[in-house]
Amino acid sequence: MHRINPTSTPAWKELESLSNELSNKHLVDIVSTHTRKFKYEANLKDFRLNYMRNHLDDRVLDAFERLFDQTKLAEAIEDQFNGKKINETEGRAVLHTALRKNTNTPFILDGENISKQIEGVLSQMEHFSNGVIKGDLKGYSGKLFTDIVNIGIGGSDLGPLMVYEALNAYRKRGLKAHFVSNVDGSHLARTLQEINPETTLFIVASKTFTTQETMANAHSAREWFLSNGGALKDIELHFAALSTNIPAAEDFGIHSSKIFGFWDWVGGRYSVWSAIGLSLCCTLGYETFEKMLRGAEEMDEHFRHSTLRENIPMLLAAIGIWYTNFMKYTSHAILPYDQNLSRLAAYLQQADMESNGKSVDRNGEKVNYETGTILWGEPGTNGQHAFYQLMHQGTPKITSDFLASANTHYPLGNQHELLLANFLAQPQALMHGLSKEQVQLNMAKEGKDQNRIKQLTPYRTFEGNRPSNILIYSLLDPIQVGRIIAMYEHKIFVQGCVWNIYSYDQWGVELGKKIATQVLDEMVSGGTPNSDPITTRLIQNLQALRQ
């Protein structure tokens, strides 16, 4: 991989000077110039990005084309798709795209035909999930499975959880999935209250099969199963594992036919396309999962072969870099006007922040520019009654992606129209704001006296000038969900390439895990006091409060 400091490129300097000019203009004025009216849209069939409401113009897009060129993005994309070990700090290829490539052409990685391996696991998933849905596979008392409990955390939880919520309309015979992730026993305990051991399938999802939270929950689930009617021999009917660590899954007692493997070239936060999707196959049907793979594959092709102005993930990446590095915006909101995407922001927090939350570049040097994105969000319209106040009138500078589906799986009166009206209104309000004059006119019409008008005007004025991206699609079906996830994955990748960081490792999560082990020792067995006296004091305080 190339190791180019983006700030050393001529294009970066161009963008700096363009941002000096454009940051002083109101978005309404930028957008209304007749040269750009109704430009700035990109489509992948019925999936559409409208990025008109941003502080950019053709000069900015041209400069981004040069920046991508000067940071060798095209080569980086090919390196990733072709299986080069671009995750250099872990010595691994990054091939989640291979998981969704529908092809018979062999893909050889380190002497192995990984296409064959992928096909093998997919057909194991298909067979198993059909068995669960059709009832060929049953619980120990001969009853059909009704509940699937996925035990995993991070990428082994958020992907399937988000997609399960997104595609709930596709559920088969009422099969219900539960997702248990937190080491806080409340999470598992509350789930166990809702299920019956005779009709529950537990799926232990962990790439490493060593993650503290997942192992603790898996062992507790196993104990609960054994003390509520299940026998040791029944474990093989009620437990499956998804992991790259087959021996550890076997040691846990899971039958080899119920272990679904994947590989070290699948990053945890990019693993929903792998065996980690088994809970989806078992509840939504294998064909739904397969369609999601096809949607993602379409986005892969679109990303790999389109020019910047047509390329949805690349445009989103460019806009993100533009606002983060040049316009000095501080965070990015994900705002799906779709209750079914209620976990999208949480999913993307891991995908994006674990990937690009880095401050050392590929040369081992501390970066001298911003990287990473603070990402957050909630579905609309709920967010409107919570944090939109800050988006409209607060001081932090925030960018946002608004997403909505033209049609709904759940038509109820005119509620979908109400939802879409709000979806369209908010970005308009964010951009236009409301002028002092208009505010005063409105208050005069309300019959307010002049003193009150004068007093309230500053509070009721909206500056506007807040940018947004709009993503629309015909219906939130498996194809669109595949496209949405793959789109964001590629956006993250492009940003990591330009920022010259390694997006596919996550060393930053290690330290806290290590300290937790020491703290546990000190808490439970009075082991050597922690080197941090504040922690030791807090342990003592907590112990005093424990019953």
Binding site for ligand F6P (CB under 6 A): 153-156, 206-208, 211, 214, 268-269, 354, 506, 509
Is 513 one of the annotated active-site residues of the chain?
A: yes
Give the separation between CA 422 and CA 338, rounded to whole angstroms: 11
Least distance (Å) from ligand F6P to the CB of residue 84?
A: 21
Select 148 or 471, whichever has its Cβ closest to ligand F6P.
Answer: 148
SS3 207: coil
Neighbours of 135 (CB within 10 A): 13
Catalytic one among 298, 354, 378, 489?
Answer: 354
Least distance (Å) from ligand F6P to the CB of residue 439?
A: 48
Give the separation between CA 8 and CA 27, rounded to whole angstroms: 29
Least distance (Å) from ligand F6P to the CB of residue 156?
A: 4
Select 277 or 383, whichever has its Cβ closest to ligand F6P.
Answer: 277
Select 174 or 512, whichever has its Cβ closest to ligand F6P.
Answer: 512
- Burial classification of residue 52, based on how many CB atoms lie within 10 Å of its CB (0-12 exposed, 13-18 middle, 19 or more buried): buried
DSSP letter at 504 equals T
Give the separation between CA 490 and CA 485, rounded to whole angstroms: 9
Least distance (Å) from ligand F6P to the CB of residue 152?
A: 6
Least distance (Å) from ligand F6P to the CB of residue 208?
A: 3
Give the separation between CA 539 and CA 516, rounded to whole angstroms: 12
Query: Considering Cα of 498, then 499, then 505, then 506, what sign does the dihedral take?
Result: negative
Give the separation between CA 238 and CA 201, rounded to whole angstroms: 5
- Of the candidates 42, 25, 50, 39, the one whose C-alpha atom is nearest the C-alpha of residue 428 is 50
Catalytic one among 37, 45, 385, 454?
Answer: 385
Is 354 one of the annotated active-site residues of the chain?
A: yes
∠ CA 402-405-409 to the nearest 5 degrees? Answer: 140
Select 64 or 488, whichever has its Cβ closest to ligand F6P.
Answer: 488
Least distance (Å) from ligand F6P to the CB of residue 226?
A: 23
DSSP letter at 508 equals G
Select 211 or 349, whichever has its Cβ closest to ligand F6P.
Answer: 211
* Integer angstrom CA distances of residue 353 from 141, 331, 332, 363, 503: 45, 11, 11, 21, 9
Rounded to the nearest 10 degrees, the angle between the axes of helix 58-70 and helix 478-498 is 70
Least distance (Å) from ligand F6P to the CB of residue 160?
A: 12
SS3 490: helix
Rg for the chain, CA atoms, rounded: 25
Select 158 or 334, whichever has its Cβ closest to ligand F6P.
Answer: 158
SS3 4: coil
Question: What is the DSSP secondary-structure string of 308-338?
Answer: GGG-HHHHHHHHHHIIIIIS---EEEEEES-
Select 79 or 354, whichever has its Cβ closest to ligand F6P.
Answer: 354
DSSP letter at 156 equals G
Least distance (Å) from ligand F6P to the CB of residue 161?
A: 12
Position of tokens 């049609």? 407
Catalytic one among 116, 219, 328, 513?
Answer: 513
Question: Which tokens is 173 given?
Answer: 């015979």
Select 60 or 153, whichever has its Cβ closest to ligand F6P.
Answer: 153
Task: Please identify every residue annotated as catalytic.
Answer: 354, 385, 513
